[in-house]
Amino acid sequence: MAKDQQSFLLSDAAMQAASYSTYENFQTKLSVGLSELKDWKARIIGFQSKVEPAAQQGSLFGLSAEAPTLTEIAETIDPFTLRRQNTEFWRWRFADEGVAAMYFVIDYTTTQHEPILLYIGETVKSNQRWKGEHDCKRYLLNYRQAHYDNGLKSELGIAFWPEAPTDRKARQQLESALILRWRSPFNKENWRFWNTPFVDGKSS
């Protein structure tokens, strides 16, 4: 793996340290067996591996009549080709607040050797997203703990698509289109679809 990629990935040690510091009193009560975990991941990989991004046509948010719809834009975005970053990126110091963006939480290491897109979100300030509490952080802790308990590796990261519309309603519509397209299991819209086991539990 290239050096510039390694610096953006969340190692097991870094994830554990972040987990303890951010959720000192958090205790997971989930119990997911090895077969259940592997089968759950295999179903998602089977679905997401068939999603093929469409070629981009013209400008994304132009004013002409040929400007694509948000659904068409969603079809051109391939989360797995975006630059990986550490999920603790928000701890770094930035010169600005960032830009409007869509973001994708991904497990880049799986037993099937294919990544899994776990969560999709939107933000108007990409460099500040995830400061403070966020439900997805809890889901990731549950997910990582299940892998640890079953002797499996996980390599969690986040990627940003920085061309999202600045209008919040438009971003949310694009987010919904992406969630439906990729069926990301940590988004509540897809919990029942995948019977997602990692979304229970509360931090005390």
Six token digits for residue 12:
């097991």
Q: How many residues does the chain have?
A: 204
Query: Does 138 fall in a domain?
Result: yes
Q: Which domain holds residue 134?
A: 3-24+67-194
Positions of the chain with pLDDT under 50: 1-27, 59, 63-64, 94, 203-204
The CB density around residue 113, as the number of other CB atoms within 10 Å, is: 7
The whole-number pLDDT of residue 127 equals 59
Q: What is the model's pTM?
A: 0.78
- DSSP state at residue 117: E
Q: Is residue 126 part of a domain?
A: yes
Token look-up 């068409």 returns 72
Q: Which helix (H) or strand (E) holds 143?
A: helix 135-149
Domain-embedded: residue 102: yes
How confident is the model at residue 137, as a pLDDT? 85
Has residue 40 been placed in a domain? no
- Percent of the chain's residues with pLDDT above 70: 68
Question: 47 lies in a domain?
Answer: no
**Predicted pLDDT at 91:** 53
Q: What is the pLDDT of residue 54?
A: 84
CA pair distance 36, 40, nearest whole angstrom: 6
